[in-house]
Amino acid sequence: MRATNPATGEVIREYPEDTAAAVERKLALAAEAFAVWSCASFGERAAGMHRAAAILRDRRDVYARLMTAEVGKTLAASEAEVEKCAWVCDFYADNAAQQLAPAPQATDASESGVRFEPLGAVLAVMPWNFPFWQVFRFAAPGLMAGNVGLLKHASNVPGCALAIEEVFRLAGFPEGAFQTLLIGARAVEAVIRHPVVRAVTLTGSEPAGRMVAAQAGDALKKTVLELGGSDPFIVLRDADPVEVAAAAVAGRCINNGQSCIAAKRFIVEEPVADAFTAAFVARMRTLRVGDPMDRATDVGPLAREDLLDEVHGQVTRSVAAGARLLCGGERLPRPGWFYAPTVLGEVTAGMPAFDEETFGPVAPVIRARDAADAVALANRSRFGLGASLWTRDVARARELVPSIQSGSVFVNGNVKSDPRLPFGGVKDSGYGRELSAFGIREFVNIKTVWIR
């Protein structure tokens, strides 16, 4: 495996892949760890998770620079990501006991109710774009529930994968409670089918999700899938177009535009479309693209060259289909994988910028006749991860929320994940939920107990 700096194209380090024998040893160790960890009290688990949070905060600068080096996100974004991981560790350390407390239920028995018990080893197949956060939002609830974790991380972030294993080791978790498997995609199916693995969680592309779900389903193992998104950013006619345009730039360019829940389709009611578009383009043109280690940088490089080629292809095909290039639309002439912040006008359904997930700083603007048309355009997607709605009329927003087909709707705010709220999608954006009490209950045995 190879870590490559996307800001320069230079190889950082090569990592040897785990052999089949090494993977087998790690799976055996996971089984041994589960026998111990599943019997630990919530207090013991919480103490370890609080230590993990403290380690993340103490080593924030080290882990942030590692993330920025491997995926090109800005240093400030990497630092915030480490802090968010510490937050989710503390959140579940403080709340897991209550979230998984036995729930009595009156029936014809003298005593009956539900217990929440761990399943075993959970395999996590994770992406590169939030290389720490994606993992911790599975690991914190999973480990607090008494499960053990096996991480198959994206092949371009091996350093991050090993660093996360280091966090749990330094925090004093039992040996084998959290392990990284340095394996390629072809080796995943054998791990899914292994009897030690009891469930699988995947965050990634739609094709990867379909493949892993099919393999896990054939092995009768539960899955949670968080897949792609083409999140609508709906601007109603009463919104302040200039103010909302500033939020639109932030929502589109988070993580250099490489986020499943980044705003990706900007659907604007006709009366404010011209003003919004002008303000949006003006702000996108002011963004500073450059070295992600430089704190003055707004947008860093894309994580891999093939991703840059893909997003540029979506732009050129959309323009060929009738979209109008308002700014950007080109690879920047410098080392590394930099793409100019781009806005497309006159985008309609059937164009790649409307129909596909664009993973980079590319923003299509779509005009809507009215609010009903805006919602219809928002729903005209096979994805349904998140959505945002911008208006001064909150009562009107409440009326529209039930009509928007997505796992979350944020009114007058960009979509984000929060340990206190469930996170996940509908349609081709996947199923199941992460975070909150809903997330920690995804990978437990919900056991009915009936006593007379």
Within 10 A of 286 (CB to CB), how many other CB atoms are there?
9
CATH value at residue 402: 3.40.309.10
Whether 32 and 107 map to the same domain: the answer is yes
Domain that holds residue 159: 2-227+429-451
Calculate Rg over the CA atoms of the chain: 23
* β-bridge mates for residue 258, sequence order: none
The predicted-structure confidence for 358-371, as pLDDT tens digits, reads as follows 999 999 999 999 99
Whether 277 and 261 map to the same domain: the answer is yes
Whether 162 and 179 map to the same domain: the answer is yes
The pLDDT value given to residue 452: 97
Per the domain annotation, does 367 fall within a domain? Answer: yes
Whether 213 and 265 map to the same domain: the answer is no
The predicted-structure confidence for 395-442, as pLDDT tens digits, reads as follows 999 999 999 999 999 999 999 999 999 999 999 999 999 999 999 999
Closest listed residue to residue 434, CA positions, set 385, 379, 383:
385
Per the domain annotation, does 208 fall within a domain? Answer: yes
pTM: 0.97
3-class DSSP assignment, residue 335: coil
The pLDDT value given to residue 382: 97
> Confidence class of residue 34 from pLDDT cuts 50, 70 and 90?
very high
Whether 316 and 413 map to the same domain: the answer is yes
Per the domain annotation, does 257 fall within a domain? Answer: yes
Per the domain annotation, does 424 fall within a domain? Answer: no
Whether 142 and 222 map to the same domain: the answer is yes
Whether 168 and 281 map to the same domain: the answer is no
Whether 169 and 253 map to the same domain: the answer is no
The pLDDT value given to residue 56: 98
The conformational region for residue 288 under phi > 0 = left, psi -120 to 50 = alpha, else beta, is beta
The pLDDT value given to residue 179: 98
Structural domains counted in the chain: 2
CATH value at residue 207: 3.40.605.10
Query: Is the CB of residue 358 less than 8 Å from the CB of residue 265?
Result: no
Strands 362-368 and 444-451: unpaired
Whether 305 and 190 map to the same domain: the answer is no
Within 10 A of 307 (CB to CB), how many other CB atoms are there?
20
What length does the chain have? Answer: 452
The predicted-structure confidence for 96-151, as pLDDT tens digits, reads as follows 999 999 999 999 999 999 999 999 999 999 999 999 999 999 999 999 999 999 99
The pLDDT value given to residue 362: 98
The pLDDT value given to residue 172: 98
Whether 341 and 240 map to the same domain: the answer is yes
The predicted-structure confidence for 291-329, as pLDDT tens digits, reads as follows 999 999 999 999 999 999 999 999 999 999 999 999 999
The predicted-structure confidence for 37-74, as pLDDT tens digits, reads as follows 999 999 999 999 999 999 999 999 999 999 999 999 99
Query: Among positive and negative, which fits the CA dihedral 299, 301, 304, 305?
Result: positive
Whether 271 and 336 map to the same domain: the answer is yes
Name the residues annotated as catalytic.
226, 260
Whether 186 and 217 map to the same domain: the answer is yes
